[in-house]
Amino acid sequence: MSKLLNGKTSRLQPGRQLLYQHVNTTTTVNTNVLRLFTTSSPDAINYSACICILLDNVEAHTKSVLTNISILQNLFSKTFFVFVINANNKISEITFSKINHSIVIQTYETEEYKQRNLYLKFLHENKTLFDLMVVIDPLTCLITPLNPNVFSFLKSDLKFSACFANQSYKYYDIENLVDDTRSVYLIPDESEKKQQIRFLQKHIHKESGNIPVKSAFGGFAIYKTAYLESDNRYTTDNHITFNLKVNIRDANMFIVSSFIIETSPEMASLYL
């Protein structure tokens, strides 16, 4: 952990700790002071990644989240972390603001899609620095240890605009899943919707290959920044509208069955 917090971890000079106090829509980070972490790991995936995480309700799992952030720093050749947090949460704000090569965006926005648009704004302001935007739900994907081997698909010749994680138990995130046969989010009756979600929450075997989708999330999404249009924003359906617009630009979007995140017992409430 000492390499993660306040250490000289990069061949670049450590970046100035950047902090938005109560973010507004006109704030811009000057890329002249933005420094990415550069790993010395010979096994690093040759991408620069902007890794975006909402930090709501992570206090009980801070140690696990920090450990996985350290893994992610050495997974990609260059990384920068964007944390979005409620401005009233001082404990997490203090903890995560100590991470070099990161920014903590504080906001009073409580709606998830509005919080997501804050890291998206940062990404577009600094888009030329990044090959990938990585979006992670820490409570579903950073509680259990990440296995670097499951990211090997990023070293293959797979052409993609977006890739989404699988889970070791069942694929839980049916509401964000849209393909040629499934679009549960369009069901108006909540009882019927829950019934369909329960029916579709099934185990995806790790050797099922790359499953084409028009939208998904599953707690861990990896986007090629080249396919992220500046006018594409998150809306009240969270990931769906955003993903469908990416799909129009480039339809190579997949749930990668071998990209397995170990399912935590604390995810039980997500399985209806």
% helix, strand, coil for the chain, step of 5: 35, 25, 45
Q: What is the DSSP letter of 2?
A: T
Report the greatest alpha carbon distance in the chain: 55
The pLDDT assigned to 272 comes to 61
**Is the Cα dihedral 231, 175, 67, 97 positive or negative?**
positive
Which residues, other chains included, contact 54 with Cβ-Cβ below 8 Å and sequence gap of 6+? 83, 84, 85, 112, 115, 116, 119, 137, 138
Phi-psi domain of 249 (left: phi exceeds 0; alpha: psi -120 through 50; beta: other): alpha
- Going residue by residue through the chain, which has 272 residues, state the pLDDT in tens, using 9 for 90 and above: 333 433 333 333 333 344 433 343 344 444 456 889 999 999 999 999 999 999 988 999 999 999 999 999 999 999 999 999 988 888 788 889 889 999 999 999 999 999 999 999 999 999 999 999 999 999 999 999 999 999 999 999 999 999 999 999 999 999 999 999 999 999 999 999 999 999 999 999 999 999 999 999 999 999 999 999 999 999 999 999 999 999 999 999 999 999 999 999 888 888 86
How does strand 102-107 pair with strand 76-86? parallel
State how far the Cα of 135 lies from the Cα of 217, in Å rounded to an integer: 9
Looking at residue 13, its pLDDT comes to: 33
Residue with tokens 């397995």: 260
Distance CA 199, CA 95 (A): 40
Query: What pLDDT is recorded for position 267?
Result: 87
Q: Looking at residue 224, what is its pLDDT?
A: 98
- Rounded Cα–Cα distance for residues 248 and 17 (Å): 37
Whole-number Å distance between alpha carbons of 212 and 171: 15
Which residues make Cβ contacts (< 8 Å) with residue 6, sequence separation at least 6? Answer: 98, 100
Q: Which domains does the chain have, with CATH numbers?
A: 1-143 (no CATH), 147-263 (3.90.550.10)
Query: What pLDDT, on the 0 to 100 scale, is given for residue 216?
Result: 98
Question: Would you state the pLDDT for residue 15?
Answer: 38
Angstrom distance (rounded) from CA 162 to CA 132: 9
